[in-house]
Amino acid sequence: MCGIVGILDPGREVAFDLYRAAMALQHRGQDGAGLVTFQERFYHHSDLGLLAEVFRNQDLGRFRGKMGVAHLRYATSGDGTRGECQPFMVSFPFGLSLVHNGNLTNDALQRRKLAGTGRLVNSSSDSDTILHVLAHHLAKFERTRLEPGLILDAVRATMSDLEGAYSVVVAIANHGLLAFRDPHGIRPLVMGRREQALLFASESVALETVRADLWRDVQPGEAVLVTMDGQIHARQIAEPRSAHCSFEYIYLARPESVLDGQSVSAVRERLGESLARRFDGTADVAFDVPSSAEDAAVAFAREARIPYRKGIRRNHYVARSFIAANPSLRREVAALKFHLERRVISGQRVAVVDDSIVRGTTAQALVSRLRRKGAEHVAFFSASPPVTHPCPYGVDMAIQGDLLASRLDAEGIRHTLGVDHLQYQSQEDLEAALGNRPSCTACFTGCYPTDVSPATLSQIERQRSLISGDAQGDRLERDPELSREGASC
């Protein structure tokens, strides 16, 4: 899920803009943060925690340079320690600093291949693996003048080695800023302009924060190099096979963002409207589960002709429970993150619209509190279809046994949540809301856009278990039924 930013501005130093743009992406990762700038050498700082916490005692003025990258970490691989915080750096062959959003599905294979060349990946992060693969291919030009075409040749070789989801930005010392995206474009990556500057970011909302204009998306399978003088060199490296992550539009991205040409808020409104059209019951009032379901809930209420009220309000000083590191922490966050107003709940038949039901932690806690506030009848709506399969591409849905819909049918989920009515989005309506464009819906269908073997899924589940500190990894060893086969489509 991570947030990434890269800026090259021949006319001014970039540290403050990197910080501001990264702040707009804080929702994408709360485990760690860091930034790097370059002027004759790399200036670097990263640590565990939120961006403001990591840089509270740092003087941004000391981060010199007109080129840099920044990262907000959402841990889905590695060991969750300070050493996993990006940006990652190597000094050989040219000096590289990399940020990455996504998840490799062949990380172990690439590590073995690198070891055979004498390269050691010094962390357990797959992002570090990408850096060393790129460095290995760039090293072939160590004694050559590194022209833009050679850098793009190295990206071609790198992309032929990698499998999975990756949106990457790399600062190359004395040469420029490089960005590339996997052939499926699973994770987002946009480009922006501001006078002489070129910017890359996970979402367009980061560009607006620094008064840059959205130019276009980095295309699936494309690499873009901006040299130190601002010249742009773009090349379609691999044949695009678009499969943009549908969960970006449902939950991950900010509603103000435009990703791959689609307004996130507009997609969410269409999801809410389709839920209302299929609703055959009645309700007195509609609420959203703040805040990623707000656009869907407003559209649902309008289509169903039900008053929309703010009966559930979010405590903005509590993190997103979905990306909390482990189950016990998620339960604590879910209990603290909402305030409920009895005045608009008591005695009412309430319709509650959420973006999705993944583990059910938030929904279960919320329904219980609605009952205590006097709700007479609770109808619960998910703007997404049932989440039944793990995500190997960098979203925290990697442990299948944790997914409520992988274990229970609709009636079992309704009973578990304690609701009177439960309605999911249909797969057909989801695809229509996305404009029937090629999208990754593997978490709903089990149909993965890349080759994903059962062994790969099990390995990713074990990695996620180590980060979350729960016992799921041990359960996988004992109970192979928890890891279903994944299909590639």
Residues forming the active site? 2
Residues ≥6 apart with Cβ < 8 Å to 196:
9, 10, 11, 230
Residue with tokens 């279960």: 364
- The 3-state DSSP class for residue 310 equals coil
- Which of 390, 391, 389, 393 has its CA nearest to residue 104? 393
- The 3-state DSSP class for residue 392 equals coil
Q: State phi, psi for 84 to the nearest 5 degrees.
A: -90, -5
Distance CA 423, CA 92 (A): 55
Distance CA 421, CA 417 (A): 10
- The 3-state DSSP class for residue 90 equals strand
Question: E strands along 228-327, which residues?
Answer: 232-236, 244-245, 258-259, 262-263, 285-288, 312-314
Residue with tokens 């304690």: 418
Q: State phi, psi for 377 to the nearest 5 degrees.
A: -150, 135
- Which of 3, 2, 6 has its CA nearest to residue 224? 6
Distance CA 285, CA 476 (A): 43
382 bridge partner residues: 354, 424
Give the DSSP H or E segment for 345: none
In this structure, the strands spanning 190-194 and 3-8 are unpaired
Sign of CA pseudo-dihedral 124, 451, 433, 180: positive
308 bridge partner residues: 286
Distance CA 472, CA 484 (A): 14
Give the DSSP H or E segment for 250: none
Distance CA 194, CA 214 (A): 9
